[in-house]
Amino acid sequence: MARATAKIRLYVTAELSAGASVALDRDQARYLFSVMRLVVGDDVLLFNGADGEWRARIIAARKKDGVLEAVEQTKVHMSPPDLWLMFAPIKKARTDFIAEKATEMGARRVMPVFTRHTNSDRVNAERLAAHCVEAAEQCGLVAVPDVLAPQTLEKVLADWPGDRRLMFCDETAVGGDAAEALRRAGGDKWGILIGPEGGFSADEITRLRALPFATPVSLGPRILRADTAAVAALTIWQATLGDWA
């Protein structure tokens, strides 16, 4: 009888189906066998972002690797709504926070974007992706957002797909009901854009406001820090057009 350890969740890249064998890498083996002290015969939950969640049994447990076997599906796959979170990178810990919260709040894609006043010119997309995986493991999600390499705002807007709307979080907007503006615009493919600590430049604001696919919104009468603004915007979008609605 397997010990009741199946609350431990692990993101893997292997395909998952009944009987599928999943090889663990060094970090995963260290986590399961050294940190969590699991042994052969124990169960864990696996997901890979495509095949739902599976209960899997430990077949081999070694210091540097291990093997699991998928036993039964415990959740079917569910993609989050088609929502991108674009944000200008800020300090490392706050940028990590944004990636983590975007995952928890159900963004499908996380995109660091360089704007005129962005004052952090280095973003480690791999580190952000690792934060997204960790958040998905902890929150019972079966999908992990894609994390894109940073791009300039220019490039993001030049490549903007014709069928997607943009929730432009405009700190200079006064009043207005953000939820009502989103509802009026409608649609199910969106991107949220959050500016840097220094805000958007006047040129960027003029340009963004004039885009036919953009919905400028205010997040209330107070200026929020960028990480708070990201969570607030995700909340309004999810409650209005997303999977809370």
Minimum CB separation of residue 89 from ligand SAM in Å reads 12
* Candidate list 43, 53, 100, 170; residue touching ligand SAM; CB under 6 A: 170
Asked whether position 224 contacts ligand SAM by CB under 6 A, the answer is: yes
Q: In what order do the strands lie in the sheet with 53-61?
A: 9-11, 43-47, 53-61, 66-75, 21-24
Q: Which of 74, 201, 218, 240 lies at the binding interface for ligand SAM (CB under 6 A)?
A: 218
Closest CB to ligand SAM among 133 and 194? Answer: 194
- Is residue 183 part of the contact set for ligand SAM (CB under 6 A)? no
Task: Please tell me whether residue 226 binds ligand SAM under the rule CB under 6 A.
Answer: yes
**By CB under 6 A, residue 197 contacts ligand SAM:** yes
Number of helices and strands (H, E) in the chain? 7, 12
Does the protein bind ligand SAM through residue 65 (CB under 6 A)? no
| Strands, E assignment, the chain | 9-11, 21-24, 43-47, 53-61, 66-75, 82-87, 109-114, 146-147, 151-152, 165-169, 189-194, 214-217
**Whole-angstrom distance, CA of residue 143 vs CA of residue 50:** 7
In angstroms, how far is CA 238 from the centroid of its own chain? Answer: 13
Q: Binding to ligand SAM by residue 194, rule CB under 6 A?
A: yes
Secondary structure (DSSP) of 23-45: EE-HHHHIIIIIIS---TT-EEE
Enumerate residues 81-110 that contact ligand SAM by CB under 6 A: none
Considering beta carbons, is residue 187 or 220 the nearer one to ligand SAM?
220
Parallel, antiparallel or unpaired: strands 146-147 and 109-114: parallel
Q: Is 54 in the site for ligand SAM (CB under 6 A)?
A: no
Q: Which is nearer to ligand SAM, 134 or 197 (CB)?
A: 197
220 belongs to the binding site for ligand SAM (CB under 6 A): yes
- Asked if 176 touches ligand SAM (CB under 6 A), the answer is no
**Residue 36 makes contact with ligand SAM by CB under 6 A:** no
Binding mask 130-169 for ligand SAM (x = CB under 6 A): ---------------------------------------x
User: Pick from 139, 223, 239, 245: which binds ligand SAM (CB under 6 A)?
Assistant: 223
66 scored as a contact of ligand SAM (CB under 6 A): no
Q: Which residues contact 92 (CB under 8 A, 6 or more apart)?
A: 120
Assign 3-state DSSP to the chain and report helix, strand, coil percentages, each to 5.
30, 25, 45
Q: What is the DSSP string of 178-196?
A: HHHHHHHH--SEEEEEE--
Footprint on this chain of ligand SAM (rule: CB under 6 A):
169-171, 194-195, 197-200, 218-220, 222-226, 229
